[in-house]
């Protein structure tokens, strides 16, 4: 059975937040005073694996992205990756890179696509953005992943007056390592959004000061360009160029709630269909019915600050 919403969008991509914990405290992600989930409310590894397989087998979900919080802070992540990959799901992960060197061999073995977040090449600025003195660990992780032939992409959130002077350096960094870089527009999740937001057009203009770039393709939610020196540069611009009509994703929070749109104000608990025992038929009907309520997207909520914390939604 295909999962479709009322706007005819087919859902084939599930983003799973493994944890709401993170060792970073990024200024664009984390609001002050976020309350952590209680341990007993968090889905067990078995429940996560069951749900991923359920969406795969019942609804033809092909791609799963593990995220968080910081997904490598979830103990047992290796067995989740192994079990999902063995079920022929395409497994991807988004990470802050701090623990990447430890896992990169394993990720390469299971052909996991990895998006590593990197917003600056300056260790001091790194601490200012992320709250942690972790630049060298992230660099080590990226180097190791490249050596281990991990399928890697870089995600950068550019913030006005913070790292907008590093756009070309970040492109050079990615080019030198033959890695695609994606500039993600800062979405309104924290109080500082107004002060720091910078648009795709401004980022692009900076890049065009040095490179000619040409549109290549849409890939998922990213528009991909190539530069005249052969770098793949993507833009994910939810704010100025929303792609909601192409959205094929569904989110599962660490405590087992479905979120239909990153800007939605409502979430739909599905853990209750798993505890104290699994009720597959009821879950099936609930998911079918719930997905029909997927909002149009950012266009519907524009101008409002998002309700959920990014750290709980998984980006
Ligand atoms: N901790 C991991 C990481 O940082 O990559 C995974 C979770 S994080 C929420 C996923 C992605 O969302 C990261 O690439 C991060 O840069 C991005 N992100 C977080 N807050 C954002 C915001 N307000 N606007 C745009 N992207 C954001
Ligand atoms: Fe943590 Fe990632 Fe959010 Fe930064 S963006 S606080 S690394 S979850």
Q: What is the pLDDT of residues 258-289, one digit of tens each?
A: 999 998 989 999 999 999 999 999 999 999 99
Mean pLDDT of 237-257: 94
pLDDT at 311: 76
> Which protein residues touch ligand 1 with a CB less than 6 Å away?
22, 28-29, 67-68, 70, 94-96, 117, 155, 157, 184, 186-187, 189, 310-311, 314-315
The CA distances from residue 98 to 16, 18, 65, 221, in Å, are: 19, 16, 18, 25
> Which protein residues touch ligand 2 with a CB less than 6 Å away?
22, 24-26, 29-30, 68-70, 96, 130, 311
Residue 57: exposure state from Cβ atoms within 10 A (0-12, 13-18, ≥19): exposed
Q: To 5 degrees, how large is the angle CA 291–CA 293–CA 296?
A: 105
Ligand 1 atom 9 nearest Cα? 315
List the one residue out of 81, 125, 63, 120 whose CA is nearest residue 97: 120
With a pLDDT cut of 70, the percent of the chain lying above it is 97
In this predicted model, what pLDDT tens digit does every residue of 74-127 receive, in sequence order? 999 999 999 999 999 999 999 999 999 999 999 999 999 999 999 999 999 999
pLDDT at 32: 67
How many other β-carbons are positioned within 10 Å of the β-carbon of residue 229?
A: 11
pLDDT at 178: 97
Lowest-confidence range among 36-45, 156-165, 173-182, 297-306? 297-306
Which atom of ligand 1 lies closest to the CA of 24? 1
CB of 152 within 8 A of CB of 188?
no
Residues ≥6 apart with Cβ < 8 Å to 87? 52, 53, 56
pLDDT at 306: 73
Residue 136: exposure state from Cβ atoms within 10 A (0-12, 13-18, ≥19): exposed
**Domain-wise residue ranges, the chain:** 13-313
pLDDT band at 34 (very low <50, low <70, confident <90, very high): confident
pLDDT band at 30 (very low <50, low <70, confident <90, very high): confident
Instruction: Please list the alpha-helical segments (H only) found in 272-313.
Output: 280-291, 298-301, 310-313
Superfamily of domain 13-313: Aldolase class I (3.20.20.70)
Mean pLDDT of 241-254: 93
With a pLDDT cut of 90, the percent of the chain lying above it is 87
Q: Which of 117, 163, 180 to mutate to test the pocket of ligand 1 (most atoms within 8 A of CB)?
A: 117
CA distance 78 to 90: 15
pLDDT at 307: 74
Mean residue pLDDT across the chain: 94
Q: Which residue has the higher pLDDT, 207 or 262?
A: 207
Which token pair is 38? 């209680």
pLDDT at 210: 96
pLDDT at residue 308 greater than cutoff 90: no
pLDDT at residue 31 greater than cutoff 80: no
CA distance 80 to 298: 31
pLDDT at 299: 77
Tell me the CA–centroid distance for residue 157 and ligand 2, in Å.
11
Which atom of ligand 1 lies closest to the CA of 29? 20
Mean pLDDT of 246-267: 94
Kindly state the DSSP code that residue 163 receives in the 8-state scheme.
Answer: T
pLDDT band at 303 (very low <50, low <70, confident <90, very high): low
Mean pLDDT of 4-30: 94
């Amino acid at each position: 059975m295909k999962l479709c919403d009322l706007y005819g969008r087919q859902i084939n991509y599930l983003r799973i937040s493994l944890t709401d914990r993170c060792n970073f405290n990024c200024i664009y992600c984390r609001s002050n005073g976020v309350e952590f989930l209680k341990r007993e409310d968090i889905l067990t590894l078995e429940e996560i694996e069951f749900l991923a397989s359920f969406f795969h087998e019942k609804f033809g979900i092909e791609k799963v992205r593990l995220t968080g919080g910081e997904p490598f802070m979830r103990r047992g992540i290796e067995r989740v990756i192994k079990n999902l990959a063995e079920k022929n799901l395409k497994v991807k992960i988004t990470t802050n890179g701090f623990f990447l060197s430890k896992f990169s061999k394993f990720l390469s073995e299971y052909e996991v696509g990895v998006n590593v977040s990197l917003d600056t090449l300056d260790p001091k600025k790194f601490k200012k953005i992320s709250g942690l003195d972790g630049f060298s660990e992230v660099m080590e992780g990226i180097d190791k992943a490249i050596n281990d032939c991990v399928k890697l992409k870089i995600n950068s959130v550019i913030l006005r007056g913070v790292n907008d002077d590093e756009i070309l350096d970040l492109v050079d960094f990615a080019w030198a390592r033959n890695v695609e870089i994606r500039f993600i527009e800062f979405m309104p999740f924290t109080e500082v959004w107004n002060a720091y937001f910078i648009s795709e057009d401004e980022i692009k203009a900076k890049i065009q000061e040095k490179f000619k770039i040409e549109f290549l393709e849409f890939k998922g939610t990213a528009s991909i360009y190539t530069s005249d020196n052969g770098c793949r540069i993507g833009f994910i611009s939810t704010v100025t160029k929303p792609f909601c009509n192409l959205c094929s994703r569904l989110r599962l929070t660490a405590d087992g709630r479905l979120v239909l749109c990153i800007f939605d104000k409502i979430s739909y608990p599905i853990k209750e269909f798993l505890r104290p025992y699994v009720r597959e038929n009821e879950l099936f009907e609930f998911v079918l019915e719930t997905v029909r309520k997927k909002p149009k997207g950012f266009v519907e909520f524009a101008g409002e600050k998002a309700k959920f914390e990014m750290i709980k939604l998984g980006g």
